[in-house]
Structure 1
Amino acid sequence: MNVCFMVSSAMGTPTTITVHDVERLNPKTVRVTLNPGEHASLWPNVPGGYLTFCLPCAEPAMTRSYSLVQGPDDALPQVIVKETGASRGSAFINRKFEAGMSLMAYPPQGRLFPPSWNDEPSRFVMFAGGTGITPLYSVMQHVLHGEVPHEVTLFYNNHNFKDILLREELDEWASHPRVSVTHILNDGSMDEDLHNGQLTSSKTMLLLDAMEDSALPIKFLVSGPAKMKENVLRGLDLAGHPPHAIRYEDFHHPPHLDAPSIPQCEVVAAFGGKEVNFTYRPHEETLMDAITNHGLNAPQSCRGGVCGSCRAEIHEGEVAVDQDFALTRAERAKGWVLCCQAKPLSEKISLSFKADQ
């Protein structure tokens, strides 16, 4: 088995990159600049995209995905990583990454920002929470550097002033004639009541009502902790904004589900004209591992519920999903799941992967 497990051809293959620089932003957060070197042509600058590291802190290597923050004029890719208590990946990056270090990584990917959204002048209304600012800051730079006269309205929620990431950069952008940046702090230190406290669905609607008028069509981008995301999406729904005008990403990792109670599960899985039928023990391996180990070379990548490569449609049976940061509400409603996070709740499941994903 490769140290960075097998992935689909759509994801590409891992390449060796070098850590160019590590900047400490606060005691728990670093900005890492990377140099893909001779592989630079394989590393597109994707607005709101992410890359997947193969971190040498486990055997086999642990894969973790992080959002890119670079703009269109940045020569080298950058990520911002905040260390969280339960995350070995973020701890390794914060404590062990240093300039000159080499490691394997997959080239940037991204589904957050559809390229078609850049075709006509639009008003991008962004709701960010904590490290969820990273992909939105990337999108902001790209849409404002282009020739299309977009507008950007950003609402950024943090616990307090010290927690604000990219504060100087955002302050500089706030002086741009087509940009509005509003900070919302949970500790109540802002002058206006509307800008204090957590982002709730009602606060979301009030913030929308308070926005200055614009003749441009509105598109929404949401990125942050699960609860904040749910509140904002609920507020947008109550305000009557259609799902096709809303894209979101999630940076909260909920606790893992308890191990399934069923001792074994029969699986029928199909991809690219091939079908496999097998029985596996859910407490011994993941569904994605079982599918791969039984000869189906189905799409997969990050194994963390982030990239969406392993999405499949459930035709029979029931599964529980540990964490899902990639699928849209519409995809979930149609029965799509991420196989790297799916745990069977029934003794038989049938699923299929899209051939073009």
Structure 2
Amino acid sequence: MSAPSFNAPSFHPLTIRDCRRETADTVSLLFDVPPELAERYRFVQGQHLTLKTIINGEEARRSYSICSGVDEGELRVAVKRVEGGLFSNHANDALAPGMVIDVMTPMGRFTTPLDPTAARRYVAFAAGSGITPILSIIKTVLAREPHSQFLLIYGNRAVSSIIFREELEDLKNRHMGRLAIHHLLSREPEEAGLLSGRIGADLVRDLCAGQLDAASVDAAFLCGPQAMVEEVRDALAAAGTPAERIHLELFGTSADRRPPAPAKAATDGVADGPADGATIAILQDGKRREFTLAYDGDTILDAAHRHGADLPYSCKSGVCCTCRAKIREGKVSMAENYSLEPWEVEAGYVLTCQSRPLTERVVIDFDAP
């Protein structure tokens, strides 16, 4: 299955058709997509949407993964309440059917192309709300690759916190022999009838000593907190899963975390420009905008917004990849990168929410595919 052709990300007002309570602290939102926008909101399994609204007089935007299968004919995301979370609490307490919210067109590369003739072996490790993109991937794989098999390891605190529990059980029952699911609970005794413990390297090693042949895994999808994801990734790689077959998506980082300002003598060299700052040129929608930015000042994304540019962004944590752009001239330092592939970095792509200038002039292209 091919991904949708490149279009610059853009927001459109969509009406909420349904708000469904998935658990006590998780709601899923179903959006109405008008026919004229259907192509723009066509998505690939594993992608996410960025939602934008005004809360307490200020703009707030967050990314949430699509939980629908590609062939289900709906666009739905799940939002789990986070303690102190501005947007997640608003979504769980205030959003209702009939309300209109700004929704960015689908983005994300937490996916792999599918082949209806293939007989592949997939494995996924998810924790908590990390099941959301995994559910979309599972449903789409089972529908579009009838000869493929899927193993899901899903960790939660308790039975009551298992998001999409009934839907997952229904999928397992409808695809007997093709979908296996193992639930792990960290705060409930084994009497619950499910396994206890947490997802980590020891669990991966136990699986690889039994039912999971790591070397034969065609695609592994890991979604959850950073520590879990990195531990599982390393354990799978050590057991023989090729690194290029392991796909990562993180959650749990603060949307307001600001990347630290680098010292003048950054690891890739002293800034090659005047002391007062660099000239930044932003290319977007065929237009050019220029401004001056101190080497140890704001990130390029934040500075561009201060100068009137409406650039795409969501998490500002280096996770969602919404602010991805290509360096056409100059150099930057990137504080964090949890979403760009190595080939993208090599090709000159950066996350502008994490980038600051290192040279006297930097030209950044948001129109690059």
TM-score scaled by length of structure 1: 0.81
- Is the 1:130–1:224 Cα contact (8 Å) retained in structure 2? yes
Deviations 1:148-207 (A, max 9, x none): 411110011112222111111111222322111011122363479994322222321222
Q: Which letter does structure 2 place at the counterpart of 1:48?
A: G
Q: Which letter does structure 1 place at the counterpart of 2:125?
A: F
Structure 1 range deviating more: 98-107 or 52-61:
52-61
Q: d(CA) in 2 for partners of 1:90 and 1:114?
A: 28
Match of 1:66 in 2: 64
- Is the 1:31–1:78 Cα contact (8 Å) retained in structure 2? yes
Match of 2:83 in 1: 85
Deviations 1:316-352 (A, max 9, x none): 454423xx552246656888642123467x7978575
Match of 1:6 in 2: none
Q: d(CA) in 2 for partners of 1:325 and 1:154?
A: 23
Match of 1:3 in 2: none
**Superposed, which structure 2 residues align to 1:154-303 within 5 Å?**
154-175=152-173, 176=175, 177-187=177-187, 189-190=189-190, 195-211=195-211, 218-254=218-254, 256-257=257-258, 260=261, 265-266=277-278, 268=280, 278-280=292-294, 285-291=298-304, 300-303=312-315
Match of 1:33 in 2: 30
Task: Give secondary structure in 2 for the equivalent of 1:174.
Answer: helix
Asked if 1:320 corresponds to 2:335, the answer is yes
Q: Which of 321, 328, 337 in structure 2 is aligned with 1:308?
A: 321
Q: 1:265 to 1:227 in 2, by over 3 A?
A: farther
| Matched length | 344
Deviations 1:275-294 (A, max 9, x none): 957234866x5421324666
Question: How many percent of aligned residue pairs carry the same amino acid?
Answer: 27
Q: Which letter does structure 2 place at the counterpart of 1:16?
A: P
Match of 1:10 in 2: 7
Deviations 1:106-154 (A, max 9, x none): 2222311132566632111111111000001001001101254111100
- Is the 2:280–2:361 Cα contact (8 Å) retained in structure 1? yes
Structure 2: where are the runs of 5+ without partners? 1-5, 264-274
Q: d(CA) in 1 for partners of 2:139 and 2:348?
A: 35
Q: Which letter does structure 1 place at the counterpart of 2:303?
A: A
Match of 1:140 in 2: 138
Asked if 1:341 corresponds to 2:341, the answer is no
Q: d(CA) in 1 for partners of 2:242 and 2:38?
A: 38
Q: Which letter does structure 2 place at the counterpart of 1:234?
A: D
Deviation at 1:227, TM superposition (A): 1.4
Structure 1: where are the runs of 5+ without partners? 1-8
Q: d(CA) in 1 for partners of 2:156 and 2:361?
A: 41
Task: Give secondary structure in 2 for the equivalent of 1:136.
Answer: helix
Q: Which of 94, 97, 100 in structure 1 is aligned with 2:95?
A: 97
Q: 1:275 to 1:258 in 2, by over 3 A?
A: closer
Q: Which letter does structure 1 place at the counterpart of 2:237?
A: D
Deviation at 1:213, TM superposition (A): 6.1
Q: d(CA) in 2 for partners of 1:147 and 1:207?
A: 24
TM-score scaled by length of structure 2: 0.78
Q: d(CA) in 2 for partners of 1:288 and 1:196?
A: 43
- Is the 1:21–1:33 Cα contact (8 Å) retained in structure 2? yes
Deviations 1:16-69 (A, max 9, x none): 211111122233211111112343343214211111111221656322111011
Q: 1:250 to 1:264 in 2, by over 3 A?
A: farther
Task: Give secondary structure in 1 for the equivalent of 2:335.
Answer: strand
Q: d(CA) in 1 for partners of 2:259 and 2:351?
A: 17
Deviations 1:199-228 (A, max 9, x none): 222321222332266996521111111111
Q: d(CA) in 2 for partners of 1:208 and 1:267?
A: 52
Q: d(CA) in 2 for partners of 1:343 and 1:287?
A: 6
Q: Which letter does structure 2 place at the counterpart of 1:55?
A: T
Deviation at 1:92, TM superposition (A): 1.2
Q: d(CA) in 2 for partners of 1:202 and 1:161?
A: 22
Task: Give secondary structure in 2 for the equivalent of 1:256.
Answer: coil
Q: 1:46 to 1:186 in 2, by over 3 A?
A: same
Task: Give secondary structure in 1 for the equivalent of 2:102.
Answer: strand
Structure 1 range deviating more: 54-63 or 206-215:
206-215
Task: Give secondary structure in 1 for the equivalent of 2:184.
Answer: strand
- Is the 1:312–1:351 Cα contact (8 Å) retained in structure 2? no
Q: d(CA) in 2 for partners of 1:340 and 1:355?
A: 16
Task: Give secondary structure in 1 for the equivalent of 2:38.
Answer: helix
Structure 1 range deviating more: 35-44 or 174-183:
35-44
